[in-house]
Structure 1
């Protein structure tokens, strides 16, 4: 495990823990999901997925397989987030965070992809 991977996993994992927990009650997230046209249960589901993936990526510091699975979930989640922003015709500025997290997730996945086999 190299230091770059550890740093990226900590950033990605903590970010997803933060965003995931925000989905459980943040007024901004509640309004955002209404704007996206998604029901409340989907916001909660997304929060659970983000918290689990954040935990997997952080614990993946000691177990590359967990990092690979967590980052794969993050990549899939961020693809969904980007499609959601496209669906409601958001501009690129509003998509920058999902794009950034998608790229970080892909890097962590590539670094740890050998552990999936």
Structure 2
């Protein structure tokens, strides 16, 4: 079980950095509306650039927290909890603009994985 938990933490970390640092200006099949970049996606949600950077910073902080939690397990519920809240927000934004459910899949997957990490940590 420990290896599975570590694998999930690494997966969320790498995926989050990929989206927010390497694919920030690129189109992906999961971007909201028909956006070609993170800026366009947040504009489609009706959110400002400041909110975009706040959300991105929080997601990266959460992902870093998950990596640190490999060695300091007490961080797990905080980092995973923050990620879960952010993923709920992402799902809500996709629903708000009537995106197809497929576009919410990564957020839903990260929500489930984050909740799994919390449950495993607590029990």
Q: TM-score, normalised by structure 1?
A: 0.88
Aligned counterparts, 1:25-104, within 5 A: 26=25, 28-104=37-113
Structure 1 runs not aligned, ≥5 long = none
Question: What's the Cα RMSD here?
Answer: 1.7
Instruction: Say whether residues 1:11 and 2:11 are aligned partners.
Output: yes
Give the C-alpha shift of residue 26 in structure 1.
Answer: 2.2
Q: Distance in 2 between matches of 1:12 and 1:54?
A: 6
- 1:78 and 1:99 in contact (8 A); partners too: yes
Query: Greater helix share, 1 or 2?
Result: 1
Q: TM-score, normalised by structure 2?
A: 0.84
Structure 2 runs not aligned, ≥5 long = 27-36
- Residue of structure 1 in register with 2:21 after alignment: 21
Given the alignment, which residue of 87, 108, 119 partners 1:110?
119
- 1:19 and 1:47 in contact (8 A); partners too: no
Q: Distance in 1 between matches of 2:20 and 2:3?
A: 25
Question: When the two structures are aligned, how many residues end up with a matched partner?
Answer: 113
Q: Secondary structure at the match of 2:47?
A: coil
- 1:78 and 1:102 in contact (8 A); partners too: yes
